[in-house]
Amino acid sequence: MKIDFRKIQVQDIEGNNSTLDVSKELGNAIYGKTADIGELELARDIYKNGEVDVDAANAAIIGKYVREGFLAFVQEAVCPLLENIINPKK
């Protein structure tokens, strides 16, 4: 499934929707903390392209970094997208 990390739909405290670009921040977060070559390439892809094809393995990796380094309102927007990839509804 493709996720465009340049266009993440978030809600403010009043419930108003807006679009947030987390591609650069997410790419940098993974790039700066990983010791894994595969994660390094994923970080570069997210940073450079914004929209990436995310499989279950990459969804788990991205989820780990989102939960570690992003504020709750971003986690609330991104984690369900990743969870749908990891555990698709049949």
- Distance separating alpha carbons of residues 52 and 87, to the nearest angstrom: 18
pLDDT (mean) for 23-47: 98
Strand partners, 17: 11
Contact 73, 26 (CB under 8 A): no
On the CB side of 37, CA atoms within 13 Å amount to 0
- pLDDT (tens digit, 9 = 90+) per residue, 47-85? 999 999 999 999 999 999 999 999 999 999 999 999 999
For residue 27, pLDDT beyond 70? yes
- pLDDT (tens digit, 9 = 90+) per residue, 1-13? 999 999 999 999 9
Q: What is the pLDDT of residue 90?
A: 66
Output the furthest CA–CA distance in the chain (Å, rounded).
41
- Distance separating alpha carbons of residues 62 and 65, to the nearest angstrom: 5
Q: Where are the domains of the chain?
A: 2-86
- Of the pLDDT bands very low, low, confident and very high (cuts 50, 70, 90), residue 89 is confident
